[in-house]
Chains A and B, each alone.
Chain A
Amino acid sequence: RKEVEQDPGPFNVPEGATVAFNCTYSNSASQSFFWYRQDCRKEPKLLMSVYSSGNEDGRFTAQLNRASQYISLLIRDSKLSDSATYLCVVTRRGFKTIFGAGTRLFVKA
């Protein structure tokens, strides 16, 4: 079993839709959690950090449930430019960083 698991998708949604991604992690010692976005053949870019209290940035909301070892990302009012692969990232003590395989999102006009 992978340490960080994501539904690979792809998610095909129309513009304006709300879409949710889930991620689970297996190591309870994990300390920090992030969502990154990666466009085709480009480097990942930090989208947002994830906290137990929830974190919202515009149309994006991230949530962490430590008890269930579950992370979510909600995108509201999807735009064409949101099409990308979304990576769930978990960091353990000592900077050990694990990337999920990513969830692909296609937003259609």
Chain B
Amino acid sequence: GAVVSQHPSWVICKSGTSVKIECRSLDFQATTMFWYRQFPKQSLMLMATSNEGSKATYEQGVEKDKFLINHASLTLSTLTVTSAHPEDSSFYICSASLQGSYEQYFGPGTRLTVT
């Protein structure tokens, strides 16, 4: 149980374009989903916390207009990287929590390369 999927698993895009990443909880309803970014050999950095039906809470230093998060249902959250630049190239990982639990289950991640 507690399976989280992400799509796409990898994407290459040109500078200036936008990329949407989907995160789905497959066998449970996730009231809270999280988006992380991980650069090579560094730890996961929380970008934002997303609650179904409300606006995401962004961490300090993360531009909400650049990283658009939508959590329209209890099983789906999306992250859109707008006007991507090469420095946005990273490993983006989502996670979801079961209601009432702090344990997080991670999606397999999306490797974004901006050329």
Contacts and interface: CB of A to CB of B under 8 A. Distances in A.
B102 A32 contact: yes
B49 A95 contact: yes
Main secondary structure of the interface of B (DSSP, over half): strand
* Overall SS of chain A's interface: strand
A42 to B, nearest CB: 7
For the side of the interface on B, what is the size category?
20 to 34
A97 B43 contact: no
A97 B106 contact: no
B78 interface: no
B106 A45 contact: yes
B44 A49 contact: no
Interface stretch (A19-27, A58-66, A71-79, A99-107): A99-107
Given A95-B32, A95-B97, A97-B46, A46 B102 contact: no
A43 B102 CA distance: 17
Given A95-B32, A95-B97, A42 B109 contact: yes
The 3 closest A-B pairs by CB, nearest first: A32-B102, A43-B106, A101-B43
16 contacts: A32-B102, A42-B108, A43-B106, A43-B109, A44-B106, A49-B103, A87-B44, A95-B34, A95-B49, A95-B97, A95-B102, A97-B102, A97-B104, A98-B46, A99-B46, A102-B43
Interface of B: 32, 34, 36, 42-46, 49, 91, 93, 97, 102-109, 111
